Copies of this chain bind each other. A is one copy, B any other.
Amino acid sequence: MQSRTPASRTGRPRSAAADTAILAATRAALVELGWSKLTLGDVATRAGVAKTTLYRRWAGKNELVVDAVAELFDELELPDRGTLAADIEGVVLQFAAILARPEAKSGLMAVVAESVRDDALRERIRASIVERQKRLVLEGRSRAQARGELPPEASPEEAARTVDLIFDIVAGAVVHRTLVSSEPADEEWVRGFTRVLLLGLAGAA
Contact = CB atoms under 8 A, between A and B. Distances in A.
A171 interface: yes
Interface in A185-205: 189, 192-193, 196-205
A176 B175 contact: yes
A35 B113 contact: yes
A48 interface: no
A116 B198 CA distance: 30
A181 interface: yes
Interface residues of A, number: 57
List the 10 closest pairs (A to B, CB-CB), nearest first: A172-B172, A172-B176, A109-B113, A200-B200, A110-B113, A34-B117, A199-B200, A172-B173, A168-B176, A105-B116
26 contacts: A105-B116, A106-B116, A109-B109, A112-B113, A113-B113, A115-B179, A125-B180, A126-B182, A149-B202, A150-B201, A162-B205, A166-B201, A167-B181, A168-B173, A168-B176, A169-B173, A171-B172, A171-B176, A172-B174, A172-B176, A172-B180, A175-B176, A196-B197, A196-B200, A199-B199, A200-B203
